[in-house]
Amino acid sequence: MDNTNDEKGAAVKFPPPLIFLSVIFFSYVLHYFWPIGIADVLFHKYIGIIILGLGISIVIIGKNTFSRAQTNIEPWKPTKKIITTGIYKYSRNPIYLALCVMQVGIGIIVNSLWMIISLAISVALVYHTAIKKEEIYLAAKFGDEYKIFKNKVRRWL
């Protein structure tokens, strides 16, 4: 890809975190009107808080990795380099994975099976609105470097 025509990055139009927040909101509304719980154990909220905290930690680590690499985290801005260190050795999309973990944690905290089930919707929407575009963009911009990274590191885990 020609760097002079790179001002829009992967041209993702809708911020992926808002996809997760929207699905969480709608699944919570569904849970409010038609509640289906996961478990009736006293400590489920603590488990959910731990899982939510794990997701938040991964987001912070991922964001800090982008900052240290001096490249843009937003998929609508140009990427300056492919990050292959830290959590990016294990996942090409650790922040999206963390958002999935956070949705599960919130679902456990509020005891909502709907929120857990709706994770499939979040993943599908993020794949089609962001990941797919990002992968095409990175392959075009970085060529073999991205192909090697893609063959070495899985999309999710």
Please write the tens of the pLDDT for every residue from 29-49.
999 999 999 987 788 999 999
Please write the tens of the pLDDT for every residue from 121-157.
999 999 999 999 999 999 999 999 999 999 999 999 8
Nearest-angstrom CA–CA distance, 18 and 126: 10
Q: What percent of the chain has pLDDT over 90?
A: 90
Say yes or no to pLDDT of 20 above 90.
yes
pLDDT of residue 5: 60
Tokens of 122: 């979040």
Q: Where are the domains of the chain?
A: 3-37+49-152
Do residues 12 and 133 lie in contact, with contact meaning Cβ atoms separated by under 8 Å?
yes
Nearest-angstrom CA–CA distance, 38 and 130: 30
**Dmax over Cα atoms in the chain, in whole Å?**
57
